[in-house]
Structure 1
Amino acid sequence: MMMMEKLFCPLLGSLSFTSTARSGKFTLIVFKKFFSQVITADGIALMQNPIARFDASKLNISPADIERMFKSFPGLQKLKYLEKVEQFVCVLESNGCKPDQIAKIIMGSPKIVTIGVEKMQPKLQLLKESGIEGPNLARVLTCKPQLLATSLNRELLPKIKLLKTTFVSHDLFIKAVVRTPSILTYNLEKAMKPSLAFFEGHGLRGMELATFLYSRLSLLRISSFTPAQIELIGKTGVPKESRMYKYILDVVATYRLESLESKMHNLQLCGLSSEETMELFRNSPLVLHYSTDKVRQTMQFLINDVGLPANSVVKRPHLLGKNLEKVIKPRFLVLQEIKSLNGLGNFDAKQFSSIITMPEAKFLSKIVEGHPQSTTLYGVYEKAISNVSSCTKIARKINFY
């Protein structure tokens, strides 16, 4: 008993010890006291230990957080020695984790505090050897702290090997893991392997498969299509050899069939026939990633204000992808002003589309600056743009003021 008291005395101060010193209740007191003093210490070293090397006040772990941690993982009560907490924090710090990230890791998965650094180190070493280190490693651990509690040989190692092979490029593998750390938590046998086999069966391999999966990493959990989804893919008439086929797979795999039908119905409400809707999907599958509100508002403006026929988007689907408020409307108003100044007639879909798709610098130099009434046109454009800071940058760039 005296040994325990001497060990924790510098940290616990005036805490009194009872016969429950070896129980979980004692652990709870120690754990709370440890963090509460760290929070209020403002970076002052309470003890000569690794945790004193950073401003622990930024951990911002409150007593209420500690209570929640014990409720979510009662196994914390088995933690009897502060050295485990100190070593845990020290290892995370040495691997690039900042105090606020360490707090998120601890609160996100309290269990990992109890597993011991000797079991953590090989997993951290594997991640670093795989190219995930420094800030990238800190991000991955903050997002998915439970990775430190997974089996090294049964889960983490085979998943990393599979992902490295799948993404072909080492850089693409690192980007995929850092962008979506949850892919390291997907079920290897029930999700990842069947998913890869499924998409390879649809003709995607090598770098084409890698870039396809990277664009939407959640597809690594898709291992089959329903008969209705397969029927929809067949209706497009797009062969597997076509470059559009993978985008059709992407859309069909991402949404429920009901959602896809709703998006297609929305296009028909905007004036497209069922055949034109399917042609649009076949020519540019990614338009179904746009929200129904965005599509409806853009279509209404193109039809009612610009005067384009509804089916003009079938051949020019990029019009649906442009920002209505910041690109389409401001440029349309400039064109309307030019029309009124020059007495020109209406412009067709081809002309309008080419102007809308111009980079902003080209639009300003070719359409605005090149006109005799450039100051007037710029005034129209500036008024139409809602972002004042964006207008200021444009004004400086083209030297109107």
Structure 2
Amino acid sequence: MAIRNIISRPSFRSMPKSSSIAISFPEFPSSNSRAFSETPASRHRALVSLSALFQRYGFPPTEFTDFLKKNEFLLNSSPSEIEKSFKILLSVKPSQEFLVSIVSGCPRVLQLDFLEKWKLGVKQLGMYNITSAAIRNVLEISRKFALSPDDVYRRVKCLKGLGCSEETITKVLEAVPMAVMWKEDEIRATVDFLMGIGIQRREIDRVFGLFPGVLAFGVENRLTPLVDEFEDLGFSLSEIRREVLRDPKVLGLENGELSQCLEMLRSLKCRVVIKENIFRDGEFRAGYKVKLRIDCLRKHGLTYRDAFTVLWKEPRVILYEIEGIEKKIEFLVHKMKFDVQCLVEVPEYLGVNFDKQIVPRFNVIQYLRANDGLGDEVGLRNLVKLSRLRFYNMYVKPYPECEKIYGRFAGDVSVRSRHPVGMWKLFKPQQHPQSVEDVKNIKSYMKSLP
């Protein structure tokens, strides 16, 4: 099921109105607009009038020249017609931000004939809490493919008939606006597929609400092969249903992804306690966690293969939240000025504590570097892999001013011994009081010795 992406032009930035800003108008090469049949003076007055109109409705004058150059068709409309279009859009959603956003992204919606049909169109959809993003998508799709409000209403009615709430339908229109173009049979086919793996009709709303993108996947060429892969890996339909309800985004897995993730997990060589924690919620959930962290690492510049290498070398990353991983990568790249590829060589960086180890050590090295107290440059490997005591002895202890920066061994804080205080008592032999008879027996025994 093909999805056509809507490419929006950059939105205007909000700027205060100012009448003192000089506006220059470009020389357009074409001559098919009404403005070019007029005298230069009348054309200039028309351009000034349009500029004043757009500025009055919140558009920054500094960007009006480029905007008009890219949308010459506006010169064929009078300022009064454009103002009527503005008022219709504001009646749909009384927000200046909404008006600027939709006109910037899809200027063609300003055509008065098109907007006349939508005076009551949004209200006819029966959705009273619809968001600006959803309205914008509906209007852009409708303008691009010449859809009427009735066409959109039929799709909304279909979703409502399947049990979807208004909030869920809004999320669908935000994430998958092309849904207003699909046939009802295509939407129902997705619902039938979900019910075929055990999802109840009352649970469809939850699945679409948490992952509206599932409506964009074809049943025959995407969803059915995916479930077949899950079953081939040994998961039953009840397990698949449980995982889909827990997080419907598992249906966004590419065919073969979960198999690769589980193959990597089964080959891990790490401490037993780490492996047990990874598989604590079952193999399916463990494999999906790997997929999410692979996506996170790839988003920051690692290749698919390198991302797998990092997780295989440092499996503790699988146990950490995505937000924590991204925080460490942002600090590595923007603060520490290391390339993200360093993670392939030193994946341990993602496995250590950020606040207790990474930040204090980096602060010490930064201080020494700024004060010429650092001899050789410290690489990421030494910064991360040195033991706490060795790092302290090398970079903190010789410089008293670094004690407070490092913090861990500062002041009266002592290094914790390997065993708790008093452990030696457990290994000391038990003492028993000696009686007079015991003493006599010991003396007689000693006398008997040669």
TM-score, normalised relative to structure 1 = 0.57
Is 2:162 the counterpart of 1:202? yes
Q: Does structure 2 conserve the Cα–Cα contact (< 8 Å) formed by 1:123 and 1:148?
A: yes
Is 2:286 the counterpart of 1:322? no
Cα distance in structure 2, aligned partners of 1:151 and 1:393:
64
Cα distance in structure 2, aligned partners of 1:109 and 1:394:
55
Change (3 A) 1:261 1:108: farther
Question: What does 1:297-312 align with in structure 2 at a 5 Å threshold?
Answer: 298-305=261-268, 312=282
Name stretches of at least 5 consecutive residues in structure 2 with no aligned partner. Answer: 1-16, 270-274, 298-306, 329-345, 353-357, 364-404, 408-450
Question: What does 1:100-139 align with in structure 2 at a 5 Å threshold?
Answer: 101-103=63-65, 105-139=67-101
Secondary structure of the corresponding residue to residue 151 of structure 1 = helix
Cα distance in structure 1, aligned partners of 2:19 and 2:158:
51
Cα distance in structure 2, aligned partners of 1:394 and 1:213:
48
Q: Give CA-to-partner distance per residue, 1:119-155, whole Å, 9 cap, x none.
A: 1112212333544544442221111101111426632
Cα distance in structure 2, aligned partners of 1:184 and 1:393:
56
Name stretches of at least 5 consecutive residues in structure 1 with no aligned partner. Answer: 1-49, 337-351, 365-378, 386-390
Question: What does 1:259-278 align with in structure 2 at a 5 Å threshold?
Answer: 259-261=222-224, 263-264=226-227, 271=233, 275=237
Is 2:337 the counterpart of 1:382? no
Query: What is aligned with 1:224?
Result: 184
Question: What does 1:34-53 align with in structure 2 at a 5 Å threshold?
Answer: 53=20
Q: Percent identity, aligned pairs only?
A: 8
Secondary structure of the corresponding residue to residue 253 of structure 1 = helix
Number of residue-to-residue matches in the alignment: 301
Cα distance in structure 2, aligned partners of 1:125 and 1:284:
42
Is 2:104 the counterpart of 1:142? yes
Secondary structure of the corresponding residue to residue 58 of structure 2 = coil
Query: What is aligned with 2:134?
Result: 176
Secondary structure of the corresponding residue to residue 202 of structure 2 = coil
Secondary structure of the corresponding residue to residue 203 of structure 1 = coil
Instruction: Report the alpha carbon displacement of residue 102 of structure 1 after superposing the two structures with TM.
Output: 2.9
Is 2:320 the counterpart of 1:356? yes
The AA in structure 1 aligned to 2:104 is T
Among candidates 21, 24, 33, match of residue 54 of structure 1: 21
Query: What is aligned with 2:199?
Result: 238
Instruction: Report the alpha carbon displacement of residue 117 of structure 1 after superposing the two structures with TM.
Output: 0.9
Cα distance in structure 2, aligned partners of 1:318 and 1:102:
48
Question: What does 1:54-93 align with in structure 2 at a 5 Å threshold?
Answer: 54=21, 56=23, 66-67=28-29, 74-76=32-34, 79-80=37-38, 81-82=42-43, 83-93=45-55
Question: What does 1:357-372 align with in structure 2 at a 5 Å threshold?
Answer: 357=321, 360=324
Query: What is aligned with 1:156?
Result: 118
Change (3 A) 1:238 1:94: same
Is 2:223 the counterpart of 1:256? no
Instruction: Report the alpha carbon displacement of residue 312 of structure 1 after superposing the two structures with TM.
Output: 3.3
Query: What is aligned with 1:191?
Result: 151
TM-score, normalised relative to structure 2 = 0.51
Change (3 A) 1:326 1:280: closer
Change (3 A) 1:151 1:52: same
Cα distance in structure 2, aligned partners of 1:91 and 1:194:
36
Instruction: State which drifts further: 296-305 or 144-153.
Output: 296-305
Q: Give CA-to-partner distance per residue, 1:313-348, whole Å, 9 cap, x none.
A: 535676156322757977876666xxxxxxxxxxxx
Cα distance in structure 2, aligned partners of 1:248 and 1:358:
18
Q: Does structure 1 conserve the Cα–Cα contact (< 8 Å) formed by 2:33 and 2:73?
A: yes
The AA in structure 1 aligned to 2:223 is L
Instruction: Report the alpha carbon displacement of residue 199 of structure 1 after superposing the two structures with TM.
Output: 0.4
Cα distance in structure 2, aligned partners of 1:191 and 1:316:
43
Change (3 A) 1:117 1:244: same
The AA in structure 1 aligned to 2:108 is Q
Secondary structure of the corresponding residue to residue 141 of structure 1 = helix
Q: Does structure 2 conserve the Cα–Cα contact (< 8 Å) formed by 1:156 and 1:184?
A: no
Cα distance in structure 1, aligned partners of 2:211 and 2:124:
22
Q: Does structure 2 conserve the Cα–Cα contact (< 8 Å) formed by 1:225 and 1:253?
A: no
Among candidates 242, 248, 256, match of residue 285 of structure 1: 248
Q: What is the CA RMSD across the aligned residues, in angstroms? A: 4.8
Q: Give CA-to-partner distance per residue, 1:366-394, whole Å, 9 cap, x none.
A: xxxxxxxxxxxxx8643679xxxxx7699
The AA in structure 2 aligned to 1:176 is A
Deviating beyond 6 angstroms after TM superposition, the runs of 4 or more aligned structure 1 residues are 306-309, 327-332, 391-396
Instruction: Report the alpha carbon displacement of residue 193 of structure 1 after superposing the two structures with TM.
Output: 0.6
Query: What is aligned with 1:45?
Result: none
Cα distance in structure 1, aligned partners of 2:157 and 2:65:
39
The AA in structure 1 aligned to 2:21 is F
Q: Does structure 1 conserve the Cα–Cα contact (< 8 Å) formed by 2:314 and 2:347?
A: yes
The AA in structure 1 aligned to 2:160 is E
Cα distance in structure 1, aligned partners of 2:266 and 2:290:
12
Q: Does structure 2 conserve the Cα–Cα contact (< 8 Å) formed by 1:76 and 1:111?
A: no
The AA in structure 2 aligned to 1:256 is G
Change (3 A) 1:157 1:393: farther
Cα distance in structure 2, aligned partners of 1:125 and 1:380:
57
Cα distance in structure 2, aligned partners of 1:222 and 1:211:
16
The AA in structure 2 aligned to 1:232 is F
Q: Does structure 1 conserve the Cα–Cα contact (< 8 Å) formed by 2:106 and 2:140?
A: yes
Cα distance in structure 2, aligned partners of 1:176 and 1:394:
48
Change (3 A) 1:216 1:86: same
